[in-house]
Structure 1
């Protein structure tokens, strides 16, 4: 009996597996009914537009540079001695005037040297006087054959030697006076002290540095000008060429509204070996504001320069934000309200505008200023009006402004 039950189980189990597989295959083989895909929603292109006008556009070249002194020198001693006095004007950052005594060196030795030189000059003059008298006497005596010709020649030679000694003594006096004068170190120009390298009581020697000073009548800035920028500038090449106006602004503090007027007065005339740029020299008068109300410039201060260039005639200034991929713009037909993608060839560009010739833009077109991913030619477009406050809000604002003005 048990053997018969086991055979039944063995026969039923494979049949059950086959039946389950057939049922699963039938379910999977049935075609699933697909739901219809909803139709794509049609979207209308919308953009803001800007009217295009033909104008004359003044080119402004932007470049940069560093303020530097036009005359910077190392002040040096010309004689040896101990420093006995230092002027308050000879301190780092102090101003001084031309001819002002900045430093004094002990003059006692030089006064003594001058006195000795003057004494030698007096002795030489006396010897010369005696030699002249002796020569004159010999010349009178030779007429009566009282002296020989040889004695006359000796007297003349002695007189010539005395003249040379007197001239040498006079030269030594002048040198002693000059050395005494050099005990006072004078300012060679109106300037300012950059560094001081000597102090009271310190010994100096000829050519020993005393400090660095620079002139303050004007300063200069080296401005690099690229080859493309040079096309739109008329730079002075000769001394009588008209200078080019420049406006300088602080490159460190961009929020500062301070500016300085400058003039390009010359160019270096040699292109930089690496960048092939030409350096123009701009001059700033009264850079420290000593004779005006201008804020002071600092030597070594980086500045941004705006240079007045040529005026481009009959051009259109496109907002830079409306130019895509460097040379792509989208126009809108003012009557049909359809799109017209266009490639442009710019004449000039700066941070705000891209300048094109008026002949590049067809008439009767507006400029699309809204970024659009898809701009098919001829597509209809809705114009987004410029946002403006409601009339009621405008009236309220006008009333409040009037009330504030009255108060």
Structure 2
């Protein structure tokens, strides 16, 4: 039995050795690699263009002005205009309501009568004062005349006395010869004229200038009261705000008594509408700012004057309708949570056609920014993950580059430069060939078949 076991082990060992020997001495198998066919791809030649920037946004329409219609005087409404109804259109400063004005007319007449009465008093005072002034002037003239007559009589007396002395008849002469009665009469005349002047001056002093000044002040105050009553009378006609608009809602009608604090209606402007549109901070630089540049002192320059066009669209009644507006201004603050800027678009004449662009309407907007100059438009389907694109060089080999994008939207990526896998940055060139086909597992340098002969101008080789 032991002999049989040894024989079995020997047979197994010999078989194993024979198998190992044959495996070690086997001939080498010849490997066959089939030739790799070029990848069939679509391509496009790049062209340098100016890309028109369009920023999508959305918002709600609001009136550029909302104003309450409030009377400035109290009274009962006696009449309303046809436009004074909900939905009614009115012109700028159009009369909308009329209040009972009888009390205001009476107050105006009373104020006017007071002014006239005071003016008559002032005129009489001026006449009286003028007559007293004339009396003083006349008394002064009479006094001057009497004093001149007295001087003349004194001169005659001196001449008469001198003549009598020459004749040695002075002592025997009569008072008449010495001109004494004439001197006495002239002195009496001077005294009378002096008394008249004193009386005239006293009468004039009894009417001082302050009386006339007081009357003038009273007239000014009466005229102010008259102006106020006239203004109140005008205000019994309640007018629309200083813009063309529409009545949004009203709370008063004929027969109601109103006060200056009563809001009769709410009006909205219809000359143009506004839309508040959000714009990401990253895209604001593509817009022409309508705002002036202001320094710390409040001084500023005008804006560039270039208006940014906005296309407004809304679905009304199942149909698409469009309007054209422009960016008028930007809001002063950036939203802290979303970092969105807000621009205000102005749409003129929102009620100029049917359907109207009404207050509160939700709209979509396309904001036309400044075009990006001298760039290349890359279709989205040609852009791989990580912004990589495949370019075809002059040997029809794929070269992998990463786009340095300036703009992107759902259809395109805009770029001027690309970066290689080694970090080298270069400018894109006119007529470079871009691979449009989404080639899975393509390696850098793979051959492609674009169905054409090699183009004259091709992309440079990759790094």
1:264-313 CA deviation, whole Å, 9 max, x = no partner? 24444554455444433332222221xxx575211232333322223334
Unpaired stretches in structure 2, ≥5 consecutive residues: 1-35, 140-196, 293-301, 418-425, 452-463
Q: Show the counterpart of 2:44.
A: 51
Q: 1:89 Cα deviation (Å)?
A: 0.7
Aligned match for 2:66, one of 69, 72, 79: 72
SS in 2 for 1:258: strand
Query: Structure 1: how far apart are the matches of 2:86 and 2:100?
Result: 23
Within-5 A mapping of 1:282-361? 282-289=345-352, 295-331=355-391, 336=396, 339-357=398-416
Deviations 1:189-240 (A, max 9, x none): 3222222222222221124222222322222333333332133233233446
Deviation at 1:96, TM superposition (A): 0.7
Partner of 1:374: 441
Structure 1 pair 350/85, CA: closer, same or farther in 2 (3 Å)? same
Deviation at 1:71, TM superposition (A): 2.8
Q: How does 1:29-48 map to 2 (within 5 A)?
A: none
Query: What residue is the counterpart of 2:142 in the other structure?
Result: none
Is contact 1:334-1:365 (8 Å) kept? no
Aligned pair partner of 1:105 in 54, 75, 99? 99
Pairs within 5 Å for 1:195-206: 195-206=249-260
In the other structure, the counterpart of 1:174 is 227
In structure 2, C-alpha distance between the alignment counterparts of 1:189 and 1:368, rounded to whole Å: 57
The Cα shift of 1:150 comes to 7.8
Q: How does 1:5-154 map to 2 (within 5 A)?
A: 49-56=42-49, 57-142=51-136, 144-147=197-200, 149=202, 152-154=205-207
For 1:213, the equivalent position in structure 2 comes to 267
* Residue range with higher mean Cα deviation, 271-280 or 108-117: 271-280
Distance 1:146 1:153, change over 3 A: closer
What is the CA deviation profile of residues 74-100 of structure 1, one whole-angstrom value per residue up to 9, with x for unaligned ones?
A: 221100011111212122221111232
Contact 1:47–1:368, Cα closer than 8 Å, also in 2: no
291, 294, 305: which is aligned to 1:242? 305
Structure 1 segments unaligned to the other structure (5+ residues):
1-42, 385-407
- Looking at structure 1, the residues matched to 321 and 393 of structure 2 have their Cα atoms a distance apart, in angstroms, of 44
Q: Equivalent residue of 1:136, what SS?
A: helix
Which residue is equivalent to 1:156? 209
Number of corresponding residues: 339
SS at match of 1:214: strand
The match for 2:456 is none
Partners of 1:60 and 1:306 within 8 A in 2:
yes
Contact (CA 8 Å) 2:406, 2:415: kept in 1 or not?
yes
CA contact 1:250–1:302 (8 Å) conserved in 2:
no
- Alpha-carbon deviation of 1:365? 3.4
SS of equivalent to 2:106: helix
Contact 1:319 1:354 survives alignment (8 Å):
yes
Alpha-carbon separation, structure 1, partners of 2:41 and 2:310: 35
State how far apart, in whole Å, the 1-side matches of 2:69 and 2:306 are.
33
CA distance in 2, matches of 1:360, 1:95: 59
Distance 1:249 1:150, change over 3 A: same
CA distance in 2, matches of 1:322, 1:252: 34
Question: Does structure 2 retain, via aligned residues, the 8 Å contact 1:243–1:265?
Answer: no
Give 3-state SS (helix, strand or coil) of 1:208's partner.
coil
**Mean CA deviation greater in 178-187 or 209-218:** 209-218
Structure 1 position 182, deviation (Å): 0.6
Q: Distance in 2 between matches of 1:149 and 1:160?
A: 20
TM-score (ref. length: structure 1): 0.71
Relative to structure 2, which stretch is displaced further, 111-120 or 131-140? 131-140
The answer as to whether partners of 1:190 and 1:216 remain within 8 angstroms in 2 is yes
Find the aligned partners of 1:176 and 1:369 in 2 and give their Cα distance. 85
User: 3-state DSSP class of the match of 2:254?
Assistant: coil
What SS is found at the alignment partner of 1:287?
coil
Q: State the match for 1:183 in structure 2.
A: 236
Normalised TM-score (structure 2): 0.63
* 1:228 maps to 2:296: no
What SS is found at the alignment partner of 1:344?
A: strand
